[in-house]
Structure 1
Amino acid sequence: MAATLFLFCADPLHPLRTDPHVADEAGAARAAGAGTALIDHDALLAGDAGAAVARVERGAGAAWYRGWMIPAGRYAELAEALAGRGTTLLTGPEAYRRAHELPGWYGTFAAVTPRSAWLPAAPGDPPAEAELAAAAAPLGGGPGIVKDYVKSRKHEWHEACYTPDLSDTGRLAAVTRRMVELQDGFLTGGVVIRSFEEYPGPGEARMWWVDGVPVLTTAHPDHPGVRPAPALCAAGPRLAPLVAELGCRFVTTDLALRSDGVPRVVEVGDGQVSDLPRGAAGTAGGERLFRALVRAAGTRSAPS
């Protein structure tokens, strides 16, 4: 088995094959000198972590995961099941949650991202209007968006994401209820309320960081054909101290130009579950990313 292992999701219809969504990445990982193995993402989400990792060879050593998003609790179960087979995830469960969920990374990036507040909530149980009003009050009035700790319903923009005035708590509550309803059992953590900022530029950039170094900048996967503005591609030195402070080995920062020309961090994510734009894995940039991850695997042990 290679010194570095990448764990990819299996195709649900063909369990011995890599999920088509990440098949190109599996090829890039092997080209970088790594080994690959498959996990059953559906079994993991269903709570059977043992079955999810049954095809991972025992004693495989250090591993990165690359695939569909995993709730933080299930990720911890994945890490435990792999450890029982002699495999260590290079991003530990606490670091995964810190990068994956907004409450974990917001304090570090507060100066460069829209003002935000959040409330815990369970699927199907949105916070009461009074709770939302109290949470939103420090943000002031003006437009805002509602999301959960990880995802928004941006494709239902006016129905379940955007509110024209955060001080209109009736409207805020209605948008929140609809977002929670549409997220259903996939609601992660609770409700996030964010001040809305205008980003009229040419499109977001996704910057990929490995051990605090920006090794690749791509278009956002939602708009793979839109070339990011040069100012976004040059934002690495400004963000590097914040990424280092976050203390997570493999992360992404999604960047956009605000209407005043200032680069802003729209989202932070765990790099293991952040999408590359379609076709990027087979490019020189994709090769550079996987080589950096292979090199990083041997440099130090996994954080918490």
Structure 2
Amino acid sequence: MATTTATTATVLYCRDPLHERRADAHFAAEARQLRAAGGTPLLIDHDALLAGDAERAVARVPDGTGAVWYRGWMIPAGGYAALDAALRRRGSELRVSPEAYRRAHELPGWYETFAGLTPVSGWLPAGPGAVPDPEGLSALAAGLPPGAAVVKDYVKSRKHEWHEACYVPDLADPAALHRVVARFVELQGEFLAGGVVLRAFEPFVTPEAAAAEVRVWWRDGAPRLVTAHPDSPVVEVPDPTLDPALAAVLPPVRAAVEALGCPFVTTDLALRADGVWRVVEVGDGQVSDLHREADQGAFVSLLTADQAPLRTPAASGTTPA
């Protein structure tokens, strides 16, 4: 087992909108764990950042802080670049560059690197409120295998409105395709990220004894932690050393993560009905959520240690305060 070496780590958390000196409640337990591990939590104003005022967002970050991680709510790629620029003017910088953040955060940035490991996809750039015309959607659908598909933007889907704004039963039905995409664009509103994505539908199994969708956390190209997906009702995760199917997919996924070249990445793996684990999403680890019952201390070690072995910790039984 690799020896872990503790280092100091400074992490920017979103502040509580009602208590500017506290971390947002969703991340408060993690911030406490970071401090207990010898790290330094600092606060930024996420609302100010989204409003376009990056200078106000970082007002509580001391000058000369140096390299920092961000852990908080999602930030559009342009806002993340503005955050990095504002920090640099204060003698600080994000450990994940704006270019690396966009590459991991948005599907067009990572898709080609993971081709073969993830459902076939295509996309059309579009701004908030802009629904691609039926002809453009049909041309996009022609690049996917025949059958069903799911709709999302460059970052998020609306899977909780599955039949209304996510699932297209048959790509050969242009009216249904346009209807689902239009509703998706409507519901996303101003938060539509990048454009419209179509992904070939693949059947996945439902969780039983262990989560059928897991989140693998990669730092510097190595898998450091496996947790249940945040939406999973099942906390236990398969052990990669005992699950042959999961063990088989980790080497090619690792090769893709290394090729992507981003320092802190998550890959969401779902178990397809034929027993093959598939990459269903890639993300920047800084804005990837942690399952409410995951071990906060094990996660914080990713940020505070130079090296750490792959771990599949048992649930801690605690929920972020």
Band of TM-score, shorter chain? over 0.9
Matched, 1:289 2:302: yes
Q: TM-score, length-normalised on structure 1? A: 0.92
Distance of 1:224 and 1:77 partners within structure 2: 36
> Using a 3 Å threshold, how does the CA distance of structure 1 residues 217 and 233 change in structure 2: closer, same or farther?
farther
Shift of 1:31: 2.6
Q: Which SS does the other structure have where 1:194 is aligned?
A: strand
Look up the match of 1:259.
273
Alignment gaps of 5+ in structure 2: 1-6, 308-321
Look up the match of 2:283.
269
Deviation per CA, 1:124-163: give whole Å up to 9, x if none: 1110010000011011320100001000010100000001
Look up the match of 1:243.
257
Shift of 1:167: 1.5
Structure with the largest fraction of helix: 1
Matched, 1:143 2:148: yes
Q: Which moved more, 1:254-263 or 1:181-190?
A: 254-263
CA contact (8 A) 1:140 1:167 kept: no
CA contact (8 A) 1:146 1:161 kept: yes
Distance of 1:169 and 1:74 partners within structure 2: 35
Structural mapping, 1:111-122, within 5 Å: 111-122=116-127
Q: TM-score, length-normalised on structure 2? A: 0.88
Structural mapping, 1:38-57, within 5 Å: 38-57=43-62
CA contact (8 A) 2:9 2:303 kept: no
**What percentage of aligned pairs have identical amino acids?**
60
CA contact (8 A) 1:43 1:49 kept: yes
Distance of 2:38 and 2:235 partners within structure 1: 31
Shift of 1:30: 1.7
Look up the match of 1:219.
228
Matched, 1:210 2:215: no
Distance of 1:69 and 1:279 partners within structure 2: 21
Deviation per CA, 1:188-232: give whole Å up to 9, x if none: 000000000011142200000000111000000111534234446
| Residue identity matched to 2:224 | V
| Residue identity matched to 1:260 | D
| Residue identity matched to 2:146 | G
CA contact (8 A) 1:8 1:36 kept: yes
Distance of 1:168 and 1:185 partners within structure 2: 28
Look up the match of 1:88.
93
Look up the match of 1:301.
none
Shift of 1:289: 2.4
Shift of 1:63: 0.2
Report how many aligned residue pairs link the two structures: 292
Look up the match of 2:237.
228
Structure 1 stretches (4+) deviating beyond 4 angstroms? none
Distance of 2:102 and 2:199 partners within structure 1: 20
Matched, 1:9 2:23: no
Q: Which moved more, 1:229-238 or 1:273-282?
A: 229-238
Look up the match of 2:134.
129
Shift of 1:4: 2.6
| Residue identity matched to 2:303 | F
Q: Which SS does the other structure have where 2:289 is aligned?
A: coil
Shift of 1:233: 5.1
Distance of 1:32 and 1:95 partners within structure 2: 27
Shift of 1:244: 0.2
